[in-house]
Structure 1
């Protein structure tokens, strides 16, 4: 029925010649109500009951029974039940998120859709639908006898950002859906910001030196306080060279007594303890060069030769200069 309509019932007792002519009282009953909704007394074998301007509150299971004035304690059994439904939408459900509304990629997102507990609603199966704005079809569906249902989206990406809501309907009247719930705005953040790798020493080093690198993540107020794992990477190495865990926004890596084998392109990256699947891009690479020890030896020899040659040249110039200014000259 539509809201505002009138609803009329007819309650009829069997006509039986053995029944003594008397006044009959007919009672209109509704499941869940302890008292009859209406009563009528008549000598007739039937009675009519009317409900005017019905609303959703009038939905439910109706029946009737009767007794005679000669023996009021002798009541009939209740009639077969009639299920009456008002066509208006079911009450709007509540929709909540079990997780944060701003999430990182790779996280799991859980919602709860809950309908109002209403004694007037007939026990039945309920279908709950998870909706996303812009999607023509529901994302998920659950069928249960409970007054709530959970929906989970796993390993979310930025594509899962959007406005989510839910609605429901019962198995007794699938055409009568609830209003959609109030929408929740969900935002899924992309990769973590790219870190910066810098060197505390020079990029070209001598063998035996110590190399210190600093890996720093951008400080972002939106990042949840947590433990951060920093990895030192070298091009060509399948595994990180070093790992450090700290709550700080930076970390130092040290390579001691470097050799020519330590030359190469170094970078770093990091991830948080709250969501280890959400890694950032690696930092820009630093090209570190460690001079070969043989090359260094040759360089030292050449420098020695240049210095000796310069000394010899200086001495020669001094001697020539003295000869030019002597009295003999």
Structure 2
């Protein structure tokens, strides 16, 4: 059993075919460019393409059929693709088209493609198109467009909604009596444009009407709505501002920390000196020191003013009280340095 299956599996992989039980090849696809609904005297290209990677034969031939009748049309055939060019088409060219392909050796034929309906407009009088809403339409609203065929055309038809700038119909609808409604829900700015509609026969002879007169639809933003691009721009600006603030704070902290760690910055007080604190200041770096060896000559206690300045080099008036209660006045100069010493400038008695 295994010996029987292996050759079949190898044949399938080597040939690259997706063969059906009846020996047929997979069906191709058929597309019309620029559209399957065009005005008379237009040029249309029908493109027939094989499924990608499923068939690996060099000798491939394509065929085109209209209403199941083969057409004597020679296609351009790049690898796995055939293009059938129809020039200056007329109402008689409208119909149902399919394509297929076959291999030369061994000879096998594919299933036909799905049906492509090709319509040529202009054979029937044009319909009318109108909007249920009057005036401008606000974004987010639902818009209904009604297409109505002429009153003297009694047979119901299929309807198609067209938009200028779009090659194919954007909606298809069956009739409700002699008219139909096309619904555009939650319209946006992209729905702004010129619309028209046609009606057509989906069966032979496949007549299609002239397009209706254009109906221009203008969609405006809802009141108070902020355009998305403005909101995004504001968010970007806020983010950049926050980043700049963070960088500025980081630079300031770095500068302050570098000053503290520099040789001329503040540091711990030497054990050979006695501190004389200023009332209301005297915390950590705000503490002012008086040289112990100078004060010990007089054994006097210094008294500082309530709020001295803090810049290096300022003169600070100080009053010294001696052991006998005698008071002397002098000035101390703040010279900064490692311990922020206050140097005795002069002593008057």
Q: TM-score, normalised by structure 2?
A: 0.32
Question: 1 or 2 for the larger relative contact order (CA 8 Å, sep ≥6)?
Answer: 1
Larger Rg: 2
